[in-house]
Amino acid sequence: MKSLPIGVFDSGLGGISVLKEMKKLMPHEDFIYYGDSKNIPYGKKTKERLKELCFQIGDYFIERGVKAIVIACNTATSAAVNEFRERYSIPIIGIEPALKPAVERCNGGKIVVLATEVTLREEKFYRLMNKYTDQAEIIKMPAPKLVTLVEQGSIGGKEAEDAVGELFKNININEVDSIVLGCTHYPFLNNTFKKVLGENITLIDGGLGTAQHLQDILAERGWLKNSNENGSIEIINSSNDQRLIELSYKLLNINE
């Protein structure tokens, strides 16, 4: 099992932000990344359709012979992580909005959770949010346009700045303690968030925590790869658009 790759997937390019964290933490591991840009956006699909799409990707990874699957998408995790664990016998790692660390560092301000419509309306998120409603004021904010911008490679410039500004036009940013980036696409817009909302705003995402969780599970099983060489990364996109694959590799190396 040690020598097998790790499968990682997302609705498109967003999960690359999680893959970056896993690559930094486990540079010797091999990864197969599957971006399902053909079927984006996941955030507007029914739960049943999401499960169908996710199972197709999961079955593909099993055929490829991976030792673990990382659902690097908050929306897909909400819709299918439990069924994945029933369907497959290898470790399944999901991701959820990093609300807990946001609450733990909260200094009395509001916490804004940016995510897709599906993530915000799923019972999984309501259960998570209800744990902390007595500790902080939590504002849910769907931000589907930001996903589209990242898929287009527009992570900076006027269009991205205008989109972020529009989201927060009715929010007093001085009352906000932190912003939880509850979609793996959003961390690519970190510089834009800070430019529009101010350098002091705290942005929190679950990418590093997910990478650490994966590392812990593989270590417990003795499945971490024994190698001194950097592992490989294979990127696949369901759209078969070479531009998206090239953009994926570009995003993988941004700010390294």
Residue 35 assigned to a binding site: no
Domain count, the chain: 2
pLDDT for 218 beyond 70: yes
Question: Is residue 186 domain-shared with residue 112, that is, in the same domain?
Answer: yes
Question: Is residue 190 domain-shared with residue 128, that is, in the same domain?
Answer: yes
Question: Is residue 56 domain-shared with residue 140, that is, in the same domain?
Answer: no
pLDDT one-digit tens code per residue, 32-64: 999 999 998 888 888 899 999 999 999 999 999
Lowest-pLDDT range of 41-45, 68-72, 138-142, 158-162? 41-45
pLDDT one-digit tens code per residue, 95-150: 988 898 999 888 888 999 999 888 888 788 888 888 888 888 999 999 989 999 99
Per-residue confidence at 66, pLDDT binned at 50, 70, 90? very high
Question: Is residue 147 domain-shared with residue 196, that is, in the same domain?
Answer: yes
pLDDT for 256 beyond 50: no
Secondary structure percentages of the chain, helix, strand, coil, to 5 = 50, 15, 35
Question: Is residue 188 domain-shared with residue 117, that is, in the same domain?
Answer: yes
Cis peptide bond upstream of 101, omega within 30: no
Identify the domain containing residue 158 by its residue range. Answer: 99-204
Can you tell me whether residue 215 is helix, strand or coil? helix
Residue 10 assigned to a binding site: yes
For the annotated catalytic residues, the residue numbers are 73, 183
The proportion of the chain whose per-residue pLDDT surpasses 70, expressed as a percent, equals 99
Nearest to 59 by CA among 12, 9, 111, 133: 9
Average pLDDT over residues 205-221: 95
Residue 28 assigned to a binding site: no
For position 28, which CATH number holds? 3.40.50.1860
Residue 31 lies in a domain: yes
pTM (predicted TM-score): 0.89
Distance in Å from the first CA to the final CA of the chain: 29
Task: Return the bridge partners of 138, or none.
Answer: 111
**Mean pLDDT, rounded, of the chain:** 92
pLDDT attached to residue 8 = 98
Q: Distance between CA 204 and CA 189 in Å, rounded?
A: 12
Counting beta carbons within 10 angstroms of the beta carbon of residue 242, is it exposed (0 to 12), middle (13 to 18) or buried (19 or more)? exposed
Residue 46 assigned to a binding site: no
CA atoms within 13 A of residue 56's CA, in its CB half-sphere: 12
Nearest to 247 by CA among 64, 157, 73, 239: 239
Beta strand 138-142 with 110-115 is parallel
pLDDT attached to residue 239 = 93
